[in-house]
Structure formats: structure tokens, C-alpha cells
Homo-oligomer: A and B are copies of this chain.
């Protein structure tokens, strides 16, 4: 036995497409295209290709609605971001988040609000782990 859903590699361009579908789904290719138009400047055909590749990779599913397809994500954003974050932090920071945040901090990328959110997060963690 093997080949148990081996992490589908999602490319950068593909991610953008998936991202708008996470925001709201299901959606037709045209909806996806027009939503992407706000940020990216991609040709319609390009987006369709990406949709197709994501389907092939089993990242998206679809359901025919007469002539068109209604696409929707097959994986949850949370699951994806969690895995990606873990592997990112593992690669670049040997798995320790603090150094990463430290990088943010001394780069002035931390706002007062970030700090208070972090504090809240810590407090919550401490309550769940007394």
C-alpha cells in the first residue's frame, strides 16, 4: 500500500485561483476570472488552464451546471495553510516560530495590534495548558 494522497503541490499561480475559490464557492470559471481581474492581469485562458490543473491535482472539484462547471475547493484553507506554515517554519527556522517572529519584530512589521493579539493568544494557550 502507498500513494495516500501525497500532498498536492500547488504552484503560485494555482494558489491565487484556489484563493478566490476559498473566499467564496462554488463559482463558475467566469466568476473566478472576474474576481481575479481585480488583482491579477491574467488572460481568461490562463485562468481556465489553472482551474483545469487544479482539478487534475484533485485540489478542486466541480459539478456541471448545464454548459458550465461550478468549481469548489476540495481542501480546506486552514488545512493547507497549517501544513504550509509547518513546512515553511521547519525549512527556514528549524521549526521554531520565535525566530521568525523576531525577524518580523526587528523589521518593524509588528503593529501594536499584532502585539495585543499575540498576548491574547498566549493567554488563551496558557489557559488550555495549565
Contacts and interface: CB of A to CB of B under 8 A. Distances in A.
Interface of A: 15, 78, 81-82, 84-86, 88-89, 91-93, 96-98, 100-105, 107, 109-110, 112, 114-115, 117-119, 121-122, 124-126, 129
A19 to B, nearest CB: 8
Copies of this chain present: 2
B81 A98 contact: no
A121 B97 contact: no
Contacts of A88: 84, 88
Contact of A15 (B91, B112, B114): B91
A104 B78 CA distance: 11
A122 B119 contact: yes
